[in-house]
Every structure is written in structure tokens, then in C-alpha cells.
Structure 1
Amino acid sequence: MTDVKPVAADNTDNKAQDIKTVLGDPNDFNVVHRLNSPWTLWFDNPVKRTNVANWTANLKKVVTINTVEEFWGVYNTVAIAVDLPNGSNYHFFREGVQPMWEDPANEKGGKWGYQFQRSIGEKVNEHWLHTLLACIGESFESSSEVCGAVFSNRKSCFRIAIWTRNAADKEACLNIGRHLKSVLGVSQDLEYAPHMDSARIPSSLIYKV
């Protein structure tokens, strides 16, 4: 996440530029910090969702993020999580992974999830931001197993989830679950559920932390 790559120097000045990061000069920085891998923000508001085809039609790709600077630019521009319409979702996934169970990166995986009461209000924005930072910062011990994160606004609650690649990799799943619990700062149990049909989920693949 902290790789520094200078942008092209001004053609009228062949002298090496002083390195200026966004932290020191947010308006005139000349280097960017590339993420370990690009991430894509998606949005859906499936008000009339009745089947997979309708849901897919409502899923919109917003932007792909390659640098720390792009992340903050997007985060400070899009609607904050608490202001999403009821029933809608943000999906923040690695580039090339679509936020659906059928994607090859997700089909053998599952998700950790946690529900916040709506009374938490704007505090939920902090929890969502911390989840996003954990993703782009690759702070999960088994970060390569993390496919993406989802924020859902529902009438009764807010939900935050982390999707993983392989539900059968118990150690990786537990590592990710423990870290998500720490990132969210909650004491209640988190439960992991594979994406497969709930009627066919082996009990050995349902984890708790």
C-alpha cells in the first residue's frame, strides 16, 4: 500500500522534483502511493429485484481504485454509507472479481457478517471506513483470501460483510474473522457462512469467532 511512484515531471523543468506526498501537500503532491492490488467499488439498489437477471442489471460499477490518493478522492465524493437508500448496497471488491456468488473467485467461498442496529446512526460510517482500510491495506493475516467487502442498508439494520475465496480453508477464514471483529471493535460473535445453498452447508464450514 505504501509503494511510492513519482508522477511524470514537468517537461519544462528537467530538474528532479522534491518529493511531495498528499500527506504533506494535499493540493500539489507529486507522488502517489500504489495499492498492492486495485479495488473496484460497485453499487446496487435492487428496489424491484425479483431474479438474478434483474439484480445483475441493477449492479453498477462505480470506479476502480489503484492508489491511496484515488481511494480518498472517491471516499470523500460518493455518498456516505449511512445515507444509502434502504435496500441498497456498496460492494468493494478486488479488480476482476464481481460481487456475486457465481463469480469463480467467490463460488467456493463465503462471508463473515455483522449487523449493527440502526440506532448506531452515523457511527456506522466509521466501521465501514475501517473495513475498507483493512482491505486496501491488506491487513488481514490471510489477505489474499479476501475477495471484497459489502455494506448493506436495511430497514432494520446496517450490515457489513467480508467475502472470502475458500470456505474449506478454516484457518484462513478464522484469521479473517478475528481481524474483522477487531476492525469493527465489537465483542459479539461473528458467524461465517458459505455461499452455497444453505440446505447443503456442512456444519463443519460454519465458523464463529
Structure 2
Amino acid sequence: MLIPAENLKHPLLNEWSFWLFTNTKKVWDENLVELTSFNTVEDYWCLYHHMKLPSELSMGQDYAIFKKGITPMWEHERNKRGGRWQIMFNELKFKTLDNVWLDTVLLAIGENFLNSDLICGVVVNVRQKSKISIWTDRGNDSKAVMDIGRKLRKHLNVPNKLRYYLHTTSNSLYIM
């Protein structure tokens, strides 16, 4: 039986989970809620059009989109030896935050990096000084980490510097 073309979905290389950090409980990991998962382009866009934008979240809340099976916590096996490229937003410019979040997520779930296997997920932290991070595995793989940073710099078109931090330190390892 043939499936009509209009019913076909475009599969992603990986399945991804959409997380919300609620910031309502005293214990950090009790705030982390896996909302849903998706594995096709169409399912992502359906979620995107029904979820709040980062600018609509309450101060202190986060969104995270991670490969299925990877929890957006530094302690997770795939994250603990890794790090993150981070874009800081010094002023709360929500339109910019929302656009950079969307572009970063699309780069990640679309496997648009030479080293996409290193990508664990993407996080947006809504704060007075918000930030968007793309988390990687194997932070000591400098060539792969720098390739990811160059791709972000090229495609995101943000004036802010990108900084790479290992999850185990607060000092930036690379700056672009």
C-alpha cells in the first residue's frame, strides 16, 4: 500500500526530547520536566507553533532540546566530559533571543555540523542576562569543538562573542 505524499514525514537523524526547567521547586533536578519527544521535521514545527517562545517564559525558566536519552544535566554521562558554546545576551532583547534560539535548534536537530555526533543539545536560559548554549560531548576534542563554534558564528549572525566552557570550569576555554 502506498502512502500519499502529503502524509509522509521527514525523519530527523536522531530523536530529540523537549525539556522545561520550571524553577518552582527548591531541589534543582525536580524542576526538570521532559515535555515530549519528536523525530521528524513536521513534529518539531508542530511543537514550535504550540510551545511558548523563550521570551514568553517566566524569568528563571529554561528550555532544553537534547538528543533522546541525554538529560540536560552536566552530570549525565554524555555531558560530564563535555562543554558548551555559550552566547550571552547582555540586555533582554527578546526578539533576538527567540530568533537565535530557533536558529540554534534548527542547526542542531538538522545535524548541520561536521561533528554532529558531538552535539548533545541546546539550552536557553531566560534571565536578566539570558543565554543560549549548545552542549557538546568530548570537550577536549578541540578541532571538533572549534568547527562547531565556527559554524555557529557563521550562521547565527550575532554580534556577541561566543565562549566555550567545559562543564567542569567557569573559565572559558575558547572565545570567538
Please classify the TM superposition score into its range, dividing by the shorter chain length. over 0.9
Q: 1:17 to 1:183 in 2, by over 3 A?
A: same
Compute the displacement of 1:122 (Å): 2.1
- 1:152-204 deviation line (CA, Å, top 9, x unaligned): 100x2221000000111000110111111223212432111101144xx7xxx
- 8 Å Cα contact 2:89-2:160 kept in structure 1: no
1:181 alignment partner in structure 2: 153
2:5 alignment partner in structure 1: 19
Output aligned runs, 1:41-52, within 5 Å. Answer: 41-49=18-26
Unaligned runs of 5+ in 1: 1-13, 21-29
2:134 alignment partner in structure 1: 162
Compute the displacement of 1:18 (Å): 4.2
- Structure 1 Cα separation of the partners of residues 4 and 33 of structure 2: 40
SS at match of 2:50: coil
Compute the displacement of 1:129 (Å): 0.6
Normalization by structure 1: what TM-score? 0.79
- 8 Å Cα contact 1:109-1:165 kept in structure 2: yes
Give the root-mean-square deviation of aligned CA atoms: 1.7
Q: 1:126 to 1:95 in 2, by over 3 A?
A: same
1:192 alignment partner in structure 2: 164
2:8 alignment partner in structure 1: 31
State yes or no: 1:206 paired with 2:173: yes
- The percentage of aligned residue pairs carrying the same residue is 34
* Further displaced range: 181-190 or 31-40: 181-190
Output aligned runs, 1:1-209, within 5 Å. Answer: 16-20=2-6, 30-49=7-26, 54-154=27-127, 156-198=128-170, 206-209=173-176
- Structure 1 Cα separation of the partners of residues 69 and 108 of structure 2: 15
Higher relative contact order, chain-length normalized (CA < 8 Å, sep 6+): 2
- Structure 2 Cα separation of the partners of residues 182 and 38 of structure 1: 26
- Match for 1:207: what amino acid? Y
SS at match of 1:157: coil
- Structure 1 Cα separation of the partners of residues 153 and 64 of structure 2: 19
SS at match of 1:38: strand
Could you say which structure has the larger radius of gyration? 1
Structure 1 segments (4+ residues) deviating >6 Å: none
- 1:67-104 deviation line (CA, Å, top 9, x unaligned): 11100011111111111100010011000100001100
- Structure 1 Cα separation of the partners of residues 135 and 119 of structure 2: 6
Q: How many residues align?
A: 176
- 8 Å Cα contact 2:18-2:37 kept in structure 1: yes
